Amino acid sequence: QAAADPMSSSDAPEDGPKETSSVSQNFSDADAFKILLEMKMKKRQKKPTLPSTVTELDTEDGSKVYVVGTAHFSDSSKKDVVKTIQEVQPDVVVVELCQYRVSMLKMDEKTLLKEAKEINLEKLQQAIKQNGVMSGLMQMLLLKVSAHITEQLGMAPGGEFREAFKEASKVPFCKFHLGDRPIPVTFKRAIAALSFWQKVKLAWGLCFLSDPISKDDVEKCKQKDLLEQMMAEMIGEFPDLHRTIVSERDIYLTYMLKQAAKQIELPQASETEPRKYIPAVVVGVVGMGHVPGIEKNWNSDLNIQEIMSVPPPSASSKIFKFVIKATVFGLMGYGCYRIGQRTVQFILSMPAAQSYLQKLTEIRPQH
* Residues 30, 19: Cα–Cα separation, whole Å: 20
Residue 150 amino acid letter: T
Helix (H) or strand (E) holding 328: helix 315-349
Quote the pLDDT of residue 107: 72
pTM of the model: 0.70
Residue of 290, 298, 181, 154 whose CA lies nearest to 225: 290
Cα–Cα separations (whole angstroms), residue 40 to 34, 64, 151, 201: 10, 16, 41, 53
Instruction: Write out pLDDT tens, residues 158-177.
Output: 889 999 999 999 998 899 99
Q: pLDDT truncated to tens, each residue of the chain (367 aa)? A: 333 333 333 344 444 444 444 444 556 777 777 788 788 888 887 788 999 999 999 999 999 999 999 987 788 899 999 999 999 999 999 999 999 888 888 776 667 666 655 665 666 666 666 666 656 666 666 666 666 666 666 667 788 999 999 999 999 889 999 999 998 888 888 878 877 777 777 666 666 555 666 666 665 555 455 555 655 555 556 677 778 888 999 999 999 999 999 998 877 666 777 888 989 999 999 998 899 999 999 999 998 999 998 877 656 556 656 666 677 667 667 667 667 666 666 666 767 666 766 766 666 555 5
Quote the pLDDT of residue 246: 86
Cα–Cα separations (whole angstroms), residue 190 to 42, 106, 181, 279, 305: 46, 29, 13, 37, 16
* Residues 186, 317: Cα–Cα separation, whole Å: 16
Quote the pLDDT of residue 17: 47
